[in-house]
Homo-oligomer: A and B are copies of this chain.
Amino acid sequence: MFADSIVRALRSIVGEGNSPLHEPRFAGNEQRYVLECLASTYVSSVGAYVERFEKELAAYTGARRAVAVVNGTAALQVALQLAGVRADDEVIVPALTFVATANAVRYLNAVPHFADSEEATLGLDPRALRDWLKSVAEPTGDAYRNRQTGRRISALVPMHTFGHPCDMDGLFAVAHDYRLALVEDAAESLGSFYKGQHTGTLGLLGTLSFNGNKIVTTGGGGAILTNDESLADHAKHLTTTAKQPHRWDYVHDEVGYNFRMPNLNAALGCAQLEQLPEFLASKRRLFGRYKEAFASVKDVRLMEELSGCESNYWLQTLILSENAAVQRDEVLQAANDAGLMTRPAWRLMHQLAPYQECPRAPLPVAESLAKRLINLPSSAGLA
């Protein structure tokens, strides 16, 4: 049986016992840094670990600047605001994404406009997007608007799904032609590179997440990446209540946010970041082992990085063939019953109650992928 053959393959890799989808690994300086942070009494908004974490993130990713914040959703909200997204704009996001991508748009009172993915990357398909915009977007002044809704389309948010980089060259060309600010949702792709450049550093701004299930965790956290110093300064200002520096006076010069990352969480992040190269190597090994184990299983393929891309292999992903899609739930049932945590793709954004009425392109690939995709146990400790 199909489900059994998949459970057997999984079991051959993860060994006996239960396996979560993704478990963090604290094998480095986590205890030391967190205790140092407590001893300093600087656990909150000010502290040396926040600055160090930001510097080390910038150094690793090659971004000129990184601004640490409270989570990836907050990072994306602020990045979109800084990219010029205004209330009642539309922002192109994939239908196949975690809900945070759409929520960040909504928090700015803008409207997510859903676009299709491609089978090769799981990310936004630049060809399909171009065709769609050709039919729906019309120039107006220095921007394009959706002729069906009358709203300005101001930004494009590729999300690097499970760590696999999108076709950024293709997406940049579309963004250029339709005057869209390109903001990368790199929440899942710390350690992933597109043609040698770290994901999240190609667009005007990019965002990371350090939630507990991510490749590197701070408990909860995120970051904004940018090569533009003034955008970075503004990001820092906005995420720290927009308070002007003063010895004692409290002047806030715009509506800011309480979005800074606490120093305690940054201390954990500094220890985690030191181990990122190991985590990446483990995940790459795990990919190799899964590939071998699934080579003999029919009707499945394992997501593999494309030429020119380096994936962090954050979540290992099995894609069922079209004819095996009907058996997806059996596989999920059997694997989860066996204690092997697997999960399908997120419910597509346009199928969620709060986003059903939003504009969207035809979504044949996202709809097909959503029925055929299964994430596998992916902890760095597994290989």
Q: Looking at the complex, which one of B109, B264, B344 makes contact with A265 (CB distance below 8 Å)?
A: B264
Q: How many A residues, CB 8 Å from partner? A: 67
The 0/1 profile, CB within 8 Å of B marked 1, for residues 348-375 of chain A is 0000111000000000000000000000
Known: A30-B38, A38-B31, A100-B241. A354 touches B252 (CB 8 A): yes
Instruction: Give the distance in Å from the alpha carbon of A377 to the alpha carbon of B4 in the complex.
Output: 66
Instruction: Check if A332 is an interface residue, CB within 8 A of chain B.
Output: yes
Shortest A221–chain B CB gap in Å is 8
Q: Would A31 and B35 count as touching, CB distance under 8 A?
A: yes
Instruction: Check if A260 is an interface residue, CB within 8 A of chain B.
Output: yes
Instruction: Give the distance in Å from the alpha carbon of A93 to the alpha carbon of B320 in the complex.
Output: 55
Known: A220-B260, A264-B265. A248 touches B342 (CB 8 A): yes
Q: Would A26 and B45 count as touching, CB distance under 8 A?
A: no
Q: Would B26 and A211 count as touching, CB distance under 8 A?
A: no
Shortest A83–chain B CB gap in Å is 19
Q: Looking at the complex, which one of B26, B243, B254, B353 makes contact with A253 (CB distance below 8 Å)?
A: B353
- Residues of B contacting A106 in the complex (Cβ-Cβ under 8 angstroms): 255
Q: Would A43 and B354 count as touching, CB distance under 8 A?
A: no
From DSSP, what is the main secondary structure of chain A's interface residues? Answer: loop
- Residues of B contacting A39 in the complex (Cβ-Cβ under 8 angstroms): 26
Instruction: Give the distance in Å from the alpha carbon of A23 to the alpha carbon of B71 in the complex.
Output: 26
The 0/1 profile, CB within 8 Å of B marked 1, for residues 227-266 of chain A is 0000000000000011100011111111111101111110
Shortest A19–chain B CB gap in Å is 13
Among A219, A243, A252, which residue has the most Cβ atoms of chain B within 10 A? Answer: A219
- Residues of B contacting A12 in the complex (Cβ-Cβ under 8 angstroms): none
The 0/1 profile, CB within 8 Å of B marked 1, for residues 20-34 of chain A is 000111100011001
Q: Looking at the complex, which one of B70, B220, B249, B264 makes contact with A44 (CB distance below 8 Å)?
A: B220
Among A23, A43, A256, A352, which residue has the most Cβ atoms of chain B within 10 A? Answer: A43
Q: Would B100 and A352 count as touching, CB distance under 8 A?
A: no
Instruction: Check if A212 is an interface residue, CB within 8 A of chain B.
Output: yes
The 0/1 profile, CB within 8 Å of B marked 1, for residues 28-60 of chain A is 001100110011011111100000000000000
Q: Would B268 and A264 count as touching, CB distance under 8 A?
A: yes
Among A74, A250, A257, A262, which residue has the most Cβ atoms of chain B within 10 A? Answer: A262
25 contacts across the A-B interface (CB closer than 8 A): A23-B41, A24-B43, A26-B38, A34-B34, A38-B268, A43-B217, A44-B211, A45-B212, A46-B212, A73-B257, A73-B258, A99-B241, A103-B258, A107-B107, A218-B262, A219-B264, A220-B262, A220-B265, A248-B332, A249-B344, A250-B346, A251-B352, A252-B352, A262-B265, A264-B268
